[in-house]
A = this chain, B = another copy of it.
Amino acid sequence: MPVERTVVERAMRAKEASRVLAEASAEKRGEALVRAADLLAKRQSKVMRANAVDLEGAQRKGLSSAMVDRLTITDKRLAEMAQGLREVAEQPDPIGRVIDEWTRPNGLRISKVRVPLGVVGIIYESRPNVTVDAAGLCLKSGNAALLRGGSEAINSNLALAAVMQEACEDAGLPTSCVEMIPVTDREAVYVMARLDRYLSLIVPRGGEELIRAVAEVATVPVIKHHRGLCHVYIDATCDVPMAVKLVHNAKCQRPGVCNAVETLLVHRANAEALKAVLADLLAAGVEVRGDETVQAASNQVKPATEKDWDTEYLDLILSVRVVDSLDEALGHIAQYSSGLSEAIITDNEANTERFLREVDSACVYANASTRFTDGGQFGLGAEIGISTDKFHARGPMGAGELTSYKYVLRGEGHVRE
């Protein structure tokens, strides 16, 4: 069957299921989540067998050990998927909530009520847990999920999607509330991107190249997460040990992720903080690339070039620049930030407020690590992704961000004059 027909067929089924799902009670949707968590344990051997097939394929293709690691489902990871579903189930239900209501002078009553989007498409790469996480958040928010994972994880994904479908059926919901596209050609992605007739949203989770490719051709709205070029700015005065601790955490705790810091800006007046932070980072094995002032502070600092300010290392590398003022720091951030997370470390209240107001990023921090930009850390239960867009949703997206609203108007024979 040609790729297009397969994709369209699944999308149509998901659309149909989404109509039923939109009317399902919070209890029913919650039940599907809890049943899915239980079933993940019951179907463990089946899931593991499917995963073994993928892992063999990965060995044959000679995938990197990092890739194989991402692909591997362990007992612990399966238990984490189940736990994630239970946590999502326990979150407050977003659907049917009255966001706002008012009565017009003519007596017409208007309420703005949360509703599901419809069908959400998720395009992802090699992590099979996304199948469960994404389907779970979609069910929570009353949306059908149309999933398209990477080719190297196809057997694992199909097995996990089958578990989610079985749970839907057990809860009295259509199995097509979760649809997995069984073909892994890139073409499937492009077909999905143009199915605005059936899909309300596409969330691509993966590298910048994938996201740009999808956004380029899409007629379906796409939530983009371009990259995380995050900055920490150390102000002229601050609690120096706190600065050391925060920068260390933002850079070293998990350098390969989007909310790790990539560029540190330090006010020229705060030589003490610069010195202490550099000593800590260098001791931790971080490669520091600095401007001339930073280089002068330590002979282990390498020179930074213009390209460094624009680079997301995703590694134990940090570019460091000394600035003459908060203004200069704000200017640097406005020029180079990817708009994800920026932090100020300061004991100056006016500077805090100015930084938090003027930095145009999804998450702006005062005296905290940028590493908190994450649905779980925000308390959203889980996340479908993190948006660097401003449209519809920004920052970590939970079930609430997978909703729309409608206006409900109640009259007693109201006509427009």
Interface of A is mostly: mixed
A407 contacts B by Cβ under 8 Å: yes
Contacts of A246 in B (CB 8 A): 413, 415
Closest B residue, CB atoms, query A250? B415
> A369–B104 contact, CB under 8 A?
no
Query: Which residues in B have their C-beta under 8 angstroms from that of A392?
Result: 221, 391-392
A351 within 8 A of B: no
- B416 pairs with A377, CB closer than 8 A: yes
Q: Quick one: given A117-B390, A242-B413, A392-B392, are A408 and B356 in contact (CB under 8 Å)?
A: yes
Q: CB < 8 Å: which of B102, B377, B411 contacts A104?
A: B377
* Smallest CB separation, A356 vs chain B (Å): 5
Q: CB of A154 within 8 A of chain B?
A: no
A170 within 8 A of B: no
CA distance A347 to B356 in the complex (A): 52
Q: Taking the complex as formed, is A366 at the interface, i.e. its CB lies under 8 A from any CB of chain B?
A: yes
Instruction: Report A282-334 residues with CB < 8 Å from chain B CB.
Output: 334
Q: In the complex, which residue of chain B has the Cβ closest to the Cβ of A412?
A: B367
Closest to A378 in B: B110
A258 / chain B contacts, CB cutoff of 8 Å: none
Residues of B near A239 (CB, < 8 A) are: 413
Establish whether residues A372 and B22, one from each chain, have CB atoms under 8 Å apart when the complex forms: no
Hey, what's the 0/1 contact readout for A337-371 against B, CB within 8 Å counting as 1?
00000000000000010001110111111111101
Question: In A382-417, which residues have CB < 8 Å from any B CB?
Answer: 389-392, 394-395, 404-416
A215 within 8 A of B: yes
Measured CA separation A407–B377 after assembly (Å): 13
Partner of A221, one of B200, B221, B394, B408: B221
Check A413–B108 contact: CB distance below 8 A.
Answer: no
- Per-position contact with B for A212-223: 1 when CB-CB < 8 Å, else 0? 000110010100
Please provide the 3 A-B residue pairs with the shortest distance between their CB atoms, ordered closest to farther.
A368-B411, A249-B415, A390-B404
